[in-house]
Structure formats: C-alpha cells, structure tokens
C-alpha cells in the first residue's frame, strides 16, 4: 500500500484518499459501459477518507481496481461501448471524467465472495451475484454470495481541507499546558517545524482559486 501511494504522489504530495463502491452499482443484465454511462457527471464510488467530498470530480493521480464485472458484447451505443476489453472501457471512462490526471486501472474477473461469516447487510434489491434489480423481488431473496467491487486511491484536492483543518487544530494547541506532550524528547522547535511542513503539504493539494484563498488566509494569520 505504501509503495502504491508513493507512485501516485508527486510535486510535494505525500497523502492519498481512499474511495470504494461496495457493491459496484451495476444492474443485472447491463454491461459495464451501460453502468458507466449513467455516471458521466459523477463517479460510482464514495469517499472513505475523512475528507469533505467535492462536487467537481478532479484529481492529480489515481489507481482504480474493478473486479467482478465483464464486458458484454452489444452494438456500440456510445464511445464506451466501442472498446473490446473491460480494461479499455474503465481507462477511457477515467480519462473522460478526470482529464489530465495520471490514471491507472486494473480489472479482475473474480468478484468478492460474501459467503458466511461475511455479514449480510445488503439491500433486498441485490441478486446472489451482487447485481441490482429494477424492483424488489416478489419472493424472499437468497443470501448474497458475491459482489462486484470498485476501489480507488486518489491523490486529490479533497485532501487539502483535511490537512488544512488538521494544521489549524494543532496550531491552536497550547503545548505549555501539556507537560507530558514533549516527554518523548520532541522539542518545541521540532513541533513548530512539523506544523509548517503540514501546512506546506496541504498547499500542495490546492487548485487555482484555492491557492489564492490560501494566500489570503496566510496574510490574515
């Protein structure tokens, strides 16, 4: 995980955010292009890291893994349908939604198994294979045995808010009131230096107008 994160961070960045879709929201009988076409303005995965999500999809670099979804042969109805492999479909989608970002993608045919003792917290709209139904079944559905899953690590601007908030919270600490705070041998100067490094790191995730706002905040400090 550490080495993967290192490949996604550059220009002073050191942190990545985790995203996932468990299960991946694919309707039964629909192909991967069909599913992705429904998410042109947004992405079919949610933020797992403790950051505030942004409505605009943007990132600097990302690694995305999709498993349990295969491409079905159909007549091309969109550019996504024209590609021959699932890997090409996913890569094209990532380049479309995140233009200019460094994106790597991997596709595995095997879904994630959800047999006992995996908790059965799934919606009744899921089939045994983890695909979505248009409407609830008229019969009692069986336990979900497997699900398609998408997971992603992103070097993303959403991390700016997280790192900046952490810096501001630490800056408010009155270390003189905590005698044991530096009992491990950390000096006050080292603490202040680490704070400035954290602030610099948060600024590495700024984009455009955010950088201007950051400069204004710095002046007010």
Residue pair 151/68 in contact (Cβ under 8 Å)? The answer is no
Burial class (CB in 10 A: 0-12, 13-18, 19+), 42: exposed
Residue pair 55/41 in contact (Cβ under 8 Å)? The answer is no
- Cβ atoms within 10 Å, residue 13: 18
Report the alpha-carbon distance of residue 45 to residue 178 in Å, rounded.
Answer: 41
Report the alpha-carbon distance of residue 142 to residue 66 in Å, rounded.
Answer: 24
99-136 residue pLDDT tens: 989 999 999 999 999 998 999 888 888 999 999 988 87
171-192 residue pLDDT tens: 888 777 776 777 767 778 888 8
128-174 residue pLDDT tens: 999 998 887 777 667 899 999 999 999 999 899 899 999 999 888 87
Domain ranges of the chain: 1-155, 160-204
Strand pairing class (102-108; 61-67) = parallel
pTM of the model: 0.79
3 state SS for the chain: CHHHHHHHCCCCCCCCEEEEECCCCCECCCCHHHHHHCCCCCCCCEECCCCCCCCCCCCCEEEEEEECCCCCCCCCCCHHHHCCCHHHHHHHHHHHHCCCCEEEEEEECCCEECCCCCCCCCCCCECCCCCECCCCCCCCCCCCCEECEEEEEEECCHHHHHHHHHHHHHHCCCHHHCHHHHCCCCCHHHHHHHHHHHHHHHHCCCCCHHHHHHHHHHHHC
72-104 residue pLDDT tens: 655 556 787 788 788 999 999 999 999 989 999
């Amino acid at each position: 995980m550490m080495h993967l994160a290192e490949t996604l961070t550059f220009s002073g960045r050191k942190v990545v955010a985790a995203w996932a879709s468990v299960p991946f929201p694919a309707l039964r009988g629909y192909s991967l292009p069909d599913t992705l076409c429904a998410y042109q303005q947004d992405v079919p995965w949610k933020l797992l890291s403790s950051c505030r999500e942004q409505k605009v999809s943007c990132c600097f670099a990302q690694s995305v893994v999709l498993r349990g979804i295969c491409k079905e042969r159909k007549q091309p109805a969109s550019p996504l349908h024209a590609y021959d492999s699932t890997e090409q479909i996913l890569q094209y989608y990532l380049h479309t939604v995140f233009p200019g970002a460094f994106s790597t993608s991997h596709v595995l045919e095997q879904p994630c198994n959800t047999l006992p003792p995996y908790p059965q917290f799934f919606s009744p709209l899921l089939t045994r294979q983890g695909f979505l139904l248009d409407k609830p079944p008229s019969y009692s559905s069986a336990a979900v045995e497997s699900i398609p899953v998408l997971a992603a690590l992103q070097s993303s601007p959403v991390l700016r808010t997280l790192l900046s908030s952490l810096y501001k919270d630490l800056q408010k600490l009155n270390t003189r009131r905590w005698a044991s705070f530096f009992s491990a041998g950390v000096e006050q100067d080292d603490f202040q230096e680490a704070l400035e490094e954290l602030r610099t790191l948060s600024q590495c995730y700024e984009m455009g107008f955010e950088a201007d706002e950051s400069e204004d905040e710095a002046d007010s400090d």
